[in-house]
Structure 1
Amino acid sequence: MQVNHTRIQHGVGQGSFHSASVIFEASNTKQRFDYIYDCGALANWQKTSELKHSVSRIWLEPREGSARPVLDMLILSHFDWDHMNGAQDLVARFEVDRIILPYLGPQELAIILASQAGSIADGTVEQLHRIATGGGTLWGSPITMVQRGPRRPRPEKPESSEDPSPSPEDFFRTSNKIAETPKRVTVVPDNQGAVLDRVLSDEEDLLAKAHLGSGFCNWKIRFWNRGMDKELGELILDTLGRVGFPVAALTDKVNGSRDIITWLNVRHRKGRPKKGSGGKKATAPSSNRNLAVAAYRSAIEQHKPSWLGETEGKNLSNFLSLGIYSGPNFQFDKTGFRYGYLYGDLPYPYRHIRHFSNDRGTLTGWIGTGDAPLGEPTVWDDFKLHYQNELPLTQTVLVPHHGAAPKKGPRFYNPGLNHKGGLNSVISYGTENTYGHPQPSVLSQIMYADGTLLLVNEKSKFGFHENYCFP
């Protein structure tokens, strides 16, 4: 058997787009597991041309029984437009088996609507409202929402699967004749007999199970959702209600989305002075969207004592970011293991190529962080506890929030992500962004930790590619 894993951080500009494939081959059989983590990038509030180009370059295969190429899993870390404005294009182009989202209930929906009221589209409001009131699809594809589970002690080393592992003969023997159309893997929670349902606890790992040779070969996905402070959620609902927001519509399955959209789109002017009265000029038009944002910020200020420094930021939706760990869940021969990467703006093999080698040991994992404020101690403590087994196995980390470090607001990067020297720290950003991403302080911290700094933007062309071979 042979397993090949490829992952790419695409150069799309101000946003994030990560795609990955795991291909299992043995005994005349090929099975694939393909997933994407976030798909978005903005320039003047429009999709960047680089995002469109990167989406068009994605190559997937049909599976047995499918008419279109299959994307097993589309993961959206959170609902900021620069992380998801290209996702619907993927759903239109491929057969998407499952979309993974952070848990979205009425309170979480209120935070998203209030914090992004100035820019969120009516269609997005309708889609998210349907999910928050019990819907099971997004753009026609089935969803699973990941919610914070009860934090419980974990063994120091990952538990081995009960499934029989492939024999050494199966692991090293790969047929020259492989079926043209790959079979589907089975993606299930790491719980015997479980199925992937509408809601998943982040304490439950997902396994992409390929049935090859004498047993299963599993690829592991572990999500992390810090969860939302319920008291803060109630406070935001209260402040929204005071400015007239239809709070009851958040739970109204029938007319709720219509009522919310209607209210958000109300525009009003302050009364104009009569002609010749000598009064001041009329103020510029405002809208209920402005009122929602103001109510949201008021709630943050009121709740600041319990959230300490975390609440100084203006984009609390970042706190809903869904983290992900991806890595093999099987034993492999360390002497045969090969790893290589390609980074730069010229085609292979002309520039910025590291040839396959095993000189980086056996670290194979990858962690995506979305816009999570991991620099805040309470957030980092939860993240570190949740990934206590996975972080030491990680070779590459996607740095949170495009390398942000705002002067007034939550901290995002944590040096603990670079748990040893030489690890890859990938920052996805746009060169013309007005936010100052990535911040010099973040770059300095990564270099001080002896991290390999990889800046991926619209000028990177091919982005950052990694490839792992488990022969």
Structure 2
Amino acid sequence: MCIRGLHAAGLPSAPDGVAEDNWRYALEVACLIVGGDRYQAAGDDMGAAICRGILNANFPGWRERVDIDVMRRAAQITQNAIEEKEWQEALRSSARMRLPASDLRAWPHLKNQAVAHRRLQCPVGQGGFHAGIVRHALNCLAPEFSDDASSSIFYIYDCGSERRRHVDPEIRKVVAGRGVGKPLDFLFLSHFDRDHINGVPLLLHETKGLRVDTVVLPYVDEAERLMAFGKAINRSKSAGSDRFFTDMILDPVAALQAFGPRQIIFVTGEPGPRRTPEAPPVHSPSSPEDGRPYWKAVSDDHAGAFGFRQVSGAVIVDNLSFQIFGGMEMGGWRLVPYVERADLDVIERFECAIEILQKWDRGSFQKKTRDLDIRKELITTYQIKVAQAYKYAAGNRNVTSLCLYSGPAAPEMAGAIDISPGAASANLAKVGWLGTGDAELRSDAAIEQFKRHYFSELPFTSTFVLPHHGSINNSDPLQLFSDVDRFVAAAWSKRWQHPSNQLVSQIENLDRDFRHVTAEPGTALNEACVVFWP
């Protein structure tokens, strides 16, 4: 259905006496009604059902809101725009576009293979909690977290907040929506800061939470974990009494294995001058053989990865992507981590400071901290010294952080339908999401490396979550990724000035959508789309 003038050339002007928003509303309703009638007359029951479904879901009570004469006029404009020859041409030209849900050119493509996706940036204040679900789009326009686990992939990126009273209710909502005891296919943890991980024990609670299959997090050694502890103590002395946090600092594999995951995957990032354990090769991780949707992990060889290696209780890899529903083939989805590593000089300064404060031999840090008892002693008896060493070595800088891209496979061959929150049409299937944890993306070198890793994904990224809650220390206002449609800051902290007014002003100058997700329920960002491969 080529709605001439409604999408390509802009909406017709509202009739005299009709408010512009009511006229836009009437035209969108008319598109769906006329489109449904046209599909029905052509024997296309699926197209008609889709139109009815969108109408009922997105425009409830339209009969009461729109005057009957206004509705007739809108319907007549829509009818006049329908010409079969133009319609077929419109279908061909829109096959690899992103279109709004009210544009009927997109829906006929759902007869082909399609994937539906929903994602939610939860309102947890100063922290991070993002949930997403992917499934085949047959009979499913926008999946819910409660969708059958046998046909969907459910993932979470970070789960924590500076204040537990903000994150715990959101965790309970997500678990209730999914169903207690239901599978969580992937849990991605960006880094070890408490405001990104302190909700994990509730999320994965044995009787109140979800069953996690695969946990993915950045590989960091004893020095970086102790740095994370020192940073936390500098902010709050109560960090030392957070059992899960201290367990993660001491031994992350043991801490996570307590929740029964099938596998734990450490991602090291770009090969370089860092210390990673020697380990034998192992087969690449994949989905469980229980009839659930298929996925596989692929080592990212073009980025210099050496494949998967087995370490104690976990798998380690330099770079990888998760290919879901076929992966790089048409009809799939991809989850692509990227690790932005801490400066090795900062880590070595921290080690040196601990050696001096503890009166250890120079160069003995690594050997000594391999001993679990010594690590325990450092975070209990000597936690103030650990905090002092961190402040000396790093100031208030962040350490290694794992970013995550979520978007369609083979997007250059795909088209997309934006269901919510609403975006203008685009000439490509631009519906991807990029979360950045607390990565430092301010220096030219860091930005260049980030762009190189996500070279194929950035053109298809619609939503970009600003690193470190929108801190000015982690982003350069003059080098924002301006091609995205929407920037998000998950933050609620006057103490840290998050998000930065300078960043927000620059986003406004770029004429991009900005969403500040706080602890207020109304600030949650709920996004949904359908991707098809014509």
| TM-score, reference length from structure 1 | 0.70
Matches within 5 A, 1:384-403: 384-403=451-470
Q: Given the alignment of the two structures, is residue 110 of structure 1 paired with residue 222 of structure 2, yes or no?
A: no
Q: Output the CA distance in 2 between the equivalents of 1:359 and 1:333.
A: 14
Q: Output the CA distance in 2 between the equivalents of 1:72 and 1:229.
A: 32
CA separation of 1:105 and 1:262: change in aligned 2, threshold 3 A: closer
Determine the structure 2 residue equivalent to 1:71: 184
Determine the structure 2 residue equivalent to 1:369: 436
SS of the residue corresponding to residue 97 of structure 1 reads strand
Q: Given the alignment of the two structures, is residue 426 of structure 1 paired with residue 488 of structure 2, yes or no?
A: yes
In the TM superposition, what whole-angstrom CA distance separates every residue of 1:88-116 from its partner, at most 9, and x where no partner exists? 21121111011111112223223223333
CA separation of 1:339 and 1:202: change in aligned 2, threshold 3 A: farther
Could you tell me how far 1:251 is from its partner in structure 2? 0.7
Could you tell me how far 1:189 is from its partner in structure 2? 1.6
Letter of the aligned partner of 1:369 in structure 2?
A: T
Letter of the aligned partner of 2:490 in structure 1?
A: S
SS of the residue corresponding to residue 340 of structure 2 reads coil
In the TM superposition, what whole-angstrom CA distance separates every residue of 1:107-140 from its partner, at most 9, and x where no partner exists? 32232233334424354333332237x9983644
Could you tell me how far 1:191 is from its partner in structure 2? 7.4
CA separation of 1:203 and 1:456: change in aligned 2, threshold 3 A: same
Q: Output the CA distance in 2 between the equivalents of 1:137 and 1:32.
A: 24
Q: Output the CA distance in 2 between the equivalents of 1:423 and 1:18.
A: 18
Q: Output the CA distance in 1 between the equivalents of 2:170 and 2:118.
A: 16
| TM-score, reference length from structure 2 | 0.62
Q: Output the CA distance in 2 between the equivalents of 1:245 and 1:216.
A: 59
Q: Given the alignment of the two structures, is residue 12 of structure 1 paired with residue 138 of structure 2, yes or no?
A: no
Determine the structure 2 residue equivalent to 1:183: 292
CA separation of 1:136 and 1:425: change in aligned 2, threshold 3 A: closer
Q: Given the alignment of the two structures, is residue 251 of structure 1 paired with residue 391 of structure 2, yes or no?
A: no
Could you tell me how far 1:339 is from its partner in structure 2? 0.4
Moved more, 240-249 or 89-98: 240-249
Aligned partner (choices 372, 379, 386) of residue 264 of structure 1: 379
More strand by percentage: 1
Q: Given the alignment of the two structures, is residue 341 of structure 1 paired with residue 420 of structure 2, yes or no?
A: yes
**C-alpha contact 2:337 2:402 (8 A) present in aligned 1:** yes
Aligned partner (choices 25, 50, 54) of residue 170 of structure 2: 54
Letter of the aligned partner of 1:418 in structure 2?
A: F
Determine the structure 1 residue equivalent to 2:512: 451
SS of the residue corresponding to residue 297 of structure 2 reads strand
Q: Output the CA distance in 2 between the equivalents of 1:3 and 1:438.
A: 33
Could you tell me how far 1:419 is from its partner in structure 2? 3.0
Determine the structure 2 residue equivalent to 1:271: none
Q: Given the alignment of the two structures, is residue 234 of structure 1 paired with residue 370 of structure 2, yes or no?
A: no
More helix by percentage: 2
CA separation of 1:4 and 1:245: change in aligned 2, threshold 3 A: farther
SS of the residue corresponding to residue 195 of structure 2 reads helix
Letter of the aligned partner of 1:14 in structure 2?
A: Q
Q: Output the CA distance in 1 between the equivalents of 2:384 and 2:231.
A: 10
**C-alpha contact 1:427 1:438 (8 A) present in aligned 2:** yes
Unaligned runs of 5+ in 2: 1-112, 141-147, 273-289, 302-306
**C-alpha contact 1:202 1:223 (8 A) present in aligned 2:** no
Could you tell me how far 1:203 is from its partner in structure 2? 3.2
Q: Given the alignment of the two structures, is residue 144 of structure 1 paired with residue 265 of structure 2, yes or no?
A: yes
SS of the residue corresponding to residue 243 of structure 1 reads helix
**C-alpha contact 1:332 1:470 (8 A) present in aligned 2:** no
Determine the structure 1 residue equivalent to 2:396: 315
Q: Output the CA distance in 2 between the equivalents of 1:182 and 1:451.
A: 42
Aligned partner (choices 222, 227, 231) of residue 336 of structure 2: 222
Determine the structure 1 residue equivalent to 2:65: none
SS of the residue corresponding to residue 322 of structure 1 reads strand
Unaligned runs of 5+ in 1: 152-180, 267-287, 301-313, 343-353
Q: Output the CA distance in 2 between the equivalents of 1:38 and 1:380.
A: 22
Determine the structure 1 residue equivalent to 2:407: 327
Q: Given the alignment of the two structures, is residue 412 of structure 1 paired with residue 412 of structure 2, yes or no?
A: no
Could you tell me how far 1:6 is from its partner in structure 2? 0.4
SS of the residue corresponding to residue 389 of structure 2 reads helix
**C-alpha contact 2:468 2:474 (8 A) present in aligned 1:** no
Q: Given the alignment of the two structures, is residue 91 of structure 1 paired with residue 204 of structure 2, yes or no?
A: yes
Identity rate of aligned residues, in percent? 24
Letter of the aligned partner of 1:143 in structure 2?
A: I
**C-alpha contact 1:106 1:251 (8 A) present in aligned 2:** yes
Structure of greater relative contact order (alpha carbons < 8 Å, 6+ residues apart): 1
SS of the residue corresponding to residue 320 of structure 2 reads coil
**C-alpha contact 1:100 1:145 (8 A) present in aligned 2:** yes
Letter of the aligned partner of 1:34 in structure 2?
A: F
Number of residue pairs aligned between Structure 1 and Structure 2: 371
Q: Output the CA distance in 2 between the equivalents of 1:99 and 1:413.
A: 31
SS of the residue corresponding to residue 151 of structure 2 reads strand
CA separation of 1:210 and 1:183: change in aligned 2, threshold 3 A: farther
Determine the structure 1 residue equivalent to 2:449: 382
In the TM superposition, what whole-angstrom CA distance separates every residue of 1:210-265 from its partner, at most 9, and x where no partner exists? 59xxx87431121111223334323311211221288455212xxx1x44333433
SS of the residue corresponding to residue 40 of structure 1 reads strand
Q: Output the CA distance in 1 between the equivalents of 2:346 and 2:519.
A: 37
In the TM superposition, what whole-angstrom CA distance separates every residue of 1:280-316 from its partner, at most 9, and x where no partner exists? xxxxxxxx3222222222234xxxxxxxxxxxxx333
Q: Output the CA distance in 2 between the equivalents of 1:112 and 1:125.
A: 10
